[in-house]
Amino acid sequence: MEALQKTYENHGSLHHAYIVLGGEAARENLLRFLNETLGFRTRGNPDHIEFAYEVFGIDEARRVKEIAAERPIGQLKVFVITAKIMTTEAQNALLKLLEEPARETLFFFLVSRAVSLIPTLLSRVLLINERGEAHDLWAGFLLRDIPERLIAVRKIIDAKDQDSAIALLNTIEEELHEARAREHISLGDYCFIVNEIGNCRGHLRGRSPSLKLVLEHIAIVAPYIQT
């Protein structure tokens, strides 16, 4: 959980919702982070809500919303939800909850693949890849020139790794938000590339998507950001 650790060390707080790509090892790392770094006791804590599902559907989403509406007994409520599949209906049902979360609530959704997640859900969460890929493969992507970007995406293309492709798009979008906030990019360029990222996500969720087409396109059209 290096990304969580770094965020907490730098800011003293966390984003309200995360998608974590990974299996049981990722779950164990997350629980260790909650206990040892965040100081949130998970064992025997009624504010630690953990579910595991084969399929996370609309009924499960409603249950999460009902529990989230209740105030925590302590200072923080943490959801850890593992699901092999999250239905589109369930994801849509969570959108308002994740858009307007309670300040004292954190959500962690552990899934094995990101390609089945809808763009509107991904826009409300941060994605953490705990499956072993190097995060520095795409960190600072907008600071690189086009040849460097094409080299960076080659590993994802060669591995045919759709989840890492989604993670890369999310990272680029985060860097764009930060660049726009600092006025390092024009509003027109910002809107254009955010729209392109949305189109690329849609393509990745389609049948037999071309990672090469998507990632090389983004590598070329994404603006170069000077700090």
Q: What is the mean pLDDT of the chain?
A: 87
Which of 102, 132, 162 delimits the end of a domain?
132
Among 98, 113, 132, give the residue marking a domain's end. 132
Q: Which domain holds residue 170?
A: 136-221
120 and 55 inside one domain: yes
| 128 and 88 together in one domain | yes
Residue 156 is predicted with a pLDDT of 87
- For residue 123, what pLDDT is reported? 80
Tokens 């396109």, located at residue = 217
Burial bucket for residue 186 (CB in 10 Å: 0-12, 13-18, 19+):
exposed
Cα separation, 36 vs 66, in Å, equals 28
State the number of CA atoms in the 13 A half-sphere of 187 facing the CB: 0
Give the list of residues 6+ apart from residue 1 with CB closer than 8 angstroms, or none. Answer: 29, 30, 32, 33, 128, 130
- Written as six digits, the tokens of 14 are 């966390």
Domain containing residue 114: CATH number: 3.40.50.300
For the chain, the domain total comes to: 2
- In one letter, which amino acid is 116? S
Question: What burial class does residue 81 get, using C-beta atoms within 10 Å of its C-beta: 0-12 exposed, 13-18 middle, 19+ buried?
Answer: buried
Q: Evaluate if pTM is beyond 0.95.
A: no
Please write the tens of the pLDDT for every residue from 89-119: 999 999 999 988 887 999 999 987 766 778 7
Which tens digit of pLDDT belongs to each residue from 48-63? 999 999 999 999 999 9
Q: Would residue 227 count as lying in a domain?
A: no
Statement: residue 215 has pLDDT above 90: yes
